[in-house]
Structure 1
Amino acid sequence: MPDRFDSLLQFARHHTGDHTLTLSLISGDASFRRYYRGGGLVWVDANPQTEKNQEFVRNASALHARGLLAPEVRAVDYALGLLAVTDLGDTQLIRCLDETCVLAWYQKAIALLPRLGGVTLALEPFDAAFMARENAIFPEWLLGQHLNLTLDEDERRLLEDTFACLTENNLAQPQGVMHRDFHSRNLMVCGGDTPDESELAIIDFQDMVIGPLSYDLVSLLKDCYVRWPDAVMEQGMRHGFETLSRANLLAGLDYASFRRHADLTGMQRHLKAAGLFTRLYHRDGKSGYLKDIPRTLGYVVDACRLHGEAHPVLKAFGDWLVRRVLPGFAPRQAGEGA
């Protein structure tokens, strides 16, 4: 039986009509997808046993319909999990960012959010059941597998009460289409080197759902892979609030309420992400994300401190993270050399 690369190569040669075509590896990613370049297109090995190829194709079409730049699907074999998409280059937004220009780039990215939030698709809701599946990742993989922590009854109740608070917060705010991974590694800079000269293209959008409209904004500003000064995050939050408000997507929400929603939404996302990073290591053998966990949990601690007076369970949870989780994580991180 041919291996997956041979199948992809034959797929590419068939669709280009070039029987001498060769493919060069671009990258793999946190999923099991692998990307190759050849004949002016990007060829994607996306095993249908693990990847959402039908959702990718459907969502790409919907993004284009809203005037958003995204990979255009030129060919697909759903049975084998092979795709050809247009080539958006190699420049991820994260490579363009520094403290002198980050706000200008982020404003450009934030300008995409009203169109993204208004995409017309019948998508799965980011509801309590969905969040329960995500919330289970943190205790299973980071606390259990990575830190070997056994929680007592009080700790289990604290975790349950914290996730209940975060779930209630996510369900209580204005809803719309959310990308779920809208950050500087999933935005490609096309056509120029500065915000004024270029366009931003959206990638990795197969997991879109209907959920809180603050989610993508907080994903961008509280990036798991890079942390900017608090003043940058605050200016970005205000700009995002104003952008979504002008598009009539926030149902008259004031900024203080929106910021509280966004911070708690970020907590739910960051706890999931920290769990995923350890799952990538223990299950999939990918250690490169372990170094991002302290930064990711740092956002959680900050949100707990900021909103602990209004939500005492979050103060207790933040204190518990600092006392019980972070000290156990740092020595393991250093010991693994990640």
Structure 2
Amino acid sequence: MHTGAVHTGAVHASAVHWTDPARQAAFNAWLAPLAASLQLRPESLRPASADASFRRYLRLDAVDGTSRIVMDAPPDKEDCRPFVQVQALLQAAGLRVPQILAWDETHGFMLLSDLGAQTAIERLDPANPAAAHAWYLQAVDLLIDWQRASRPGVLPAYDEPLLRRELQLFPDWYIARHRQATLTDAQQTTLARAFDAIVAQNLAAPSVYVHRDFMMRNLMVGADERLGVLDFQDAVYGPVTYDIASLMRDAFISWEEDFVIDITVRYWEKARRAGILGAASGSGWGADFGDFYRAVDFMALQRHLKVAGIFARLTLRDGKPKYLADAPRFIAYIRQTAGRYRELSPLLRLVDELEGTQAAMGYAFGRV
């Protein structure tokens, strides 16, 4: 999961820290001829963005004042081949993605074009959804182009074992390690039944290309105000509901339900016209918006349970505590969705027990 806005200010080159002198030497040897041939300034090298993985991004300037991005991905920890494959797929689908200018596959260094220093989330104000509308519609258009290009057998399948492995991060890391709770037999049964219902709903949707982290933090604003796409290396072939769920139930920014529904309806209408969903699509699935919205909710729930586990793991195993600060947003999403569907009410009670909160009383008088 890509974790944040790139730094826009000038950073002194000494800010780039290397823990392995041999890797630093290999990097310098790789960059030197590129710098000469592409008119780059190695002394301008500086951090560009953090990443939740072992991958990091650096920025450096060219003599003409433009900039480039360097991906530093140690090959024993990160495989760059999926990045290269998905970059080509996105580009072929007409989306703006970084151009791969040079790649040292052996050492895990890559030189990329720079899509800019501002993520789309930086242009959003949660208190002003009207101003956010156009950015979301542009993101929806990118999503339609990406999904329209889908073909089976190209990307790894987002299948039941993978969905369940991701869900298991919630009990393994969020419940057991972060909350330090041990579930009773009854609670384990509740969780297993909820997971069964979630996975069944997820797998009922037709499959398309899935970015897997399609949210405003991973969309970059170009000088022409067009959005570019980053952090796509984990793309899979899976539920059509996934990327719209990621976009609208964002890890880092929340919107009122009427805004979420408004954009989701617009996506649904465009997807039906494009033959991705609905009666004219190959599957015929998703013709009713109510059924589609429920499916998006269940897909978002799978994602939020997974991400709560991932954020706990990043904090407890990887020493990156800032991620868990966003955990309350996920728990709120989980509670909101579980409270909306009767079959998930046992899951809501379980989460309330874990969090030490009680569901607001007075449902007979309207939600409070």
TM-score (normalizing by structure 1): 0.90
Is the Cα–Cα contact under 8 Å of residues 135 and 163 in structure 1 kept in the other structure?
yes
Q: How many angstroms does 1:50 deviate by?
A: 2.3
Task: Write out aligned runs for 1:170-319 (5 A).
Answer: 170-192=202-224, 198-252=225-279, 253=286, 254-308=288-342, 312=343, 314-319=344-349
1:54 aligns with 2:81: yes
Distance 1:47 1:326, change over 3 A: farther
State the secondary structure of the residue aligned to 1:185: helix
Partners of 2:123 and 2:34 lie apart in 1 by 34
Match for residue 5 of structure 2?
Answer: none
Percent identity, please. Answer: 33
Match for residue 59 of structure 2?
Answer: 37
Which stretch has the larger CA shift, 46-55 or 272-281? Answer: 46-55
Q: How many angstroms does 1:120 deviate by?
A: 4.6
Is the Cα–Cα contact under 8 Å of residues 13 and 19 in structure 1 kept in the other structure?
no
Q: Which one-letter code corresponds to 1:179 in the other structure? A: H
Across the aligned residues of Structure 1 and Structure 2, the Cα RMSD in angstroms comes to 1.7
Which stretch has the larger CA shift, 1-10 or 150-159? Answer: 1-10
Q: How many correspondences in the alignment?
A: 319
Q: Which one-letter code corresponds to 2:235 in the other structure? A: M
1:94 aligns with 2:121: yes
State the secondary structure of the residue aligned to 1:43: strand
Distance 1:270 1:7, change over 3 A: same
Partners of 2:326 and 2:271 lie apart in 1 by 29
Is the Cα–Cα contact under 8 Å of residues 77 and 83 in structure 1 kept in the other structure?
yes
Deviations 1:167-222 (A, max 9, x none): 11111012100100000110001024xxxxx2110100000011111111111111
Match for residue 191 of structure 2?
Answer: 159
Distance 1:142 1:118, change over 3 A: same
Partners of 2:241 and 2:57 lie apart in 1 by 31
Q: How many angstroms does 1:133 deviate by?
A: 1.3
Distance 1:3 1:25, change over 3 A: farther
Partners of 1:298 and 1:79 lie apart in 2 by 43
Match for residue 10 of structure 1?
Answer: 29
1:320 aligns with 2:357: no
Q: How many angstroms does 1:19 deviate by?
A: 8.8
Match for residue 73 of structure 1?
Answer: 100
1:107 aligns with 2:137: yes
Partners of 2:198 and 2:173 lie apart in 1 by 19
Partners of 2:271 and 2:29 lie apart in 1 by 46
State the secondary structure of the residue aligned to 2:47: strand
Deviations 1:247-288 (A, max 9, x none): 111133210110000000000000000100010001110011
Q: How many angstroms does 1:32 deviate by?
A: 1.4
**Residue 42 (structure 2) aligned to one of 7, 21, 46:** 21
Distance 1:102 1:326, change over 3 A: farther
Distance 1:201 1:326, change over 3 A: farther
Is the Cα–Cα contact under 8 Å of residues 294 and 326 in structure 1 kept in the other structure?
no
Q: Which one-letter code corresponds to 1:34 in the other structure? A: R
State the secondary structure of the residue aligned to 2:237: strand
Is the Cα–Cα contact under 8 Å of residues 150 and 208 in structure 2 kept in the other structure?
no
Deviations 1:292-318 (A, max 9, x none): 11111211111111122xxx2x11101
Is the Cα–Cα contact under 8 Å of residues 178 and 213 in structure 1 kept in the other structure?
yes
State the secondary structure of the residue aligned to 1:61: helix
**Residue 133 (structure 1) aligned to one of 165, 168, 171:** 165
State the secondary structure of the residue aligned to 1:112: helix
Unaligned residue ranges in structure 1 (runs of 5+):
193-197, 329-338
Partners of 2:56 and 2:23 lie apart in 1 by 10
Which stretch has the larger CA shift, 145-154 or 31-40? Answer: 31-40
